[in-house]
Structure 1
């Protein structure tokens, strides 16, 4: 007979239907590797090699400070234990940073400073970078880098905490390197300053009153708002013949977007009356700002007696001194800009050489005067066309009467 021992009473009962007892054991758990203790998850299989989460405490309060990697407790009794992921949940350190981008294809804006907000999440040491949006900036802004843990060397990390950018990389510095970009820290918020002070860490940047800051103080070049003559000053320090093809293309694109359809108009005359069969002719000189080219049109007069032709010079770059026809295959881009007539050379009263013809500029239109006042900072002189001197030709006198025939016959013979 098979008997069953009762653990509570020490008796034996036959293992038959109806012969059973009440087992005081109510839980029958399976073997496991994870458990929660005081709300903190623990890995039982790795407890021998890892630090107990119960002992990992990070706080933003002054009762527990961190100095040189060692925790010091105040004489006041500790508060109730709060896990680190609960204490630091939702707490973010915010830094305002400036990053400099070089734009070699842009001559008007070769260096561009962009403003970012670096958000450091204390709960998991992840970082997110958001760029401050600027109206009509011309490029996409917003989330510059999504939230994740950033490796220090920009590559794949081995998993160790020392291979990632941490809060120690923001201590006692105003620069931080993230994926090869050097971010210059210029400000932070109040919570960031309080957190660094509570944990005994030094912070070099100052607290900014708002979330945005003007970056005009960090520009290595004068801003367009403070320089009214920017369009004129930008063109005096370089020569397009010395630029690379991509820089030259960027310069042309910038000029096209800024001055497309804008033309400077001057009125000129060419006085050639000293030569045989010469005359005084009037022309219109158009200067195209987008391409730095000039065309010369003749002003035709009624009953002038000349064959009409549309243009004296088609739209092209006008050389200062004509030295003959350029060799085959030569490009105007290979010649220095100073070899051609530019907008700064055109003034009322000045004389320009147009392929051997001396054209005198005597007037211009209203838009041209406004352009020179804003771009070059000087006023064009008033119109200087003087009326031609009155030439008195000698009058022929009637010959005296000779006595042959009548006086009418003498006048008719004359």
Structure 2
């Protein structure tokens, strides 16, 4: 049993302190942490203490300080949120302007440039941004980046208490006049006791005022100028969904395309939509961006060419306009027919506002479904295996045929061996002895001829491991020999050579006995053969010269095959 700790009982005097040699944690407690760049007080449960500090802290929390007459009332703890948490994402926004001097210009002496003054309450930083004006030719954006702006040379900075409406805000030698603020800023300043001044109006820019008076002096309707049209309709494009039909019969069915009409300069382009497996070259711009004529002028000069590179207003009486591209119409463009079927929402809104057209017909063009394509495989040419030749027809880059790996693992080193004789019309070859091996892992057959003395034949390998097709089966759907076809007395044809099976290994009988439900006739023929051989061995055991016993078979492989069958 562990005794009391001496460092807690003895007084803390010189010579009475003990060092804990088992201590391995020397962390100092941390009470602050950072999350997303902000400081947060860390909870007591997450503070890392040492073993002694944790024990002393637990004892101090359980102790209650008692006074002479009564227990001390615990002080109330209040949760005080930091400033950066209370004012997170709260920004004061003031509307202001400054005047920029213009030198050496007879039309204007200064410009009025509006800005937004932003005050971030979380860290008392400020920024000045200028809103962008379209087509002004001036660079807008951030004038003063976000930081604490200096107020004077004494080192003080601007605070929200110093800001109000109708005052001048001076920063870095530039004077900004604050004229108004948004609703949130007004509510915040009033809640803090700041009295807001009366809002002011934005002064008028002298150049814009004179330019407006110049535009007002024009009387009478006048066609819009190209520059005014560009400013009014820049980046505004009408989109139509059409069908492009060429007059040639070999061009095929109408192609779906998109017509873009640019309102800035009255030009249009025709782009074909890419289709899957359409068999066309990837050139989708049918007509480049240009103005297309609708009606040509009749010229009396017979020598004037009917087709020129670039048409001008002298040769064209009327150009194509948005009113000619209404859905449901057909247009003849450069000898091809354009069927306008539909348009997008922006185009419909343009027709409704500028042309007063609200009823736009929509034509749904649906092509008849194409007949499903059937893969026609070429006939087997006899080179290589059928599965390997089939990969050339299914893939551009031929892949290796998939193998049955589970079958290969289950039947590893399992070989069925049979003795057979050659059935040939040639008298010299008739009766030649062979050994047929059937490999169960990949259903291949190999043929070996034992060497026999005084026959004039060397013997050896007659057929490598290959799958043998049954005679009469189709080359495109071949049927291969299986263990059920290798019965005693059966004749098999191996590439125009006929073999008569006369005997089998003992392993074959055990394997067929385990699979007799699949190959009943083969099992009966093997069982009958072995029974006859057993009876003949009992009658004359010394004269038995069975061919199966003289097979050049590995003894260890035969024992492994027998063990695998017994295990299964």
TM interval, shorter chain, is 0.3 to 0.5
Q: State the TM-score, normalized to the length of structure 1.
A: 0.35
Per the normalisation by structure 2, the TM-score is 0.26
Structure possessing the higher radius of gyration over alpha carbons: 2
Structure with bigger helix share is 2
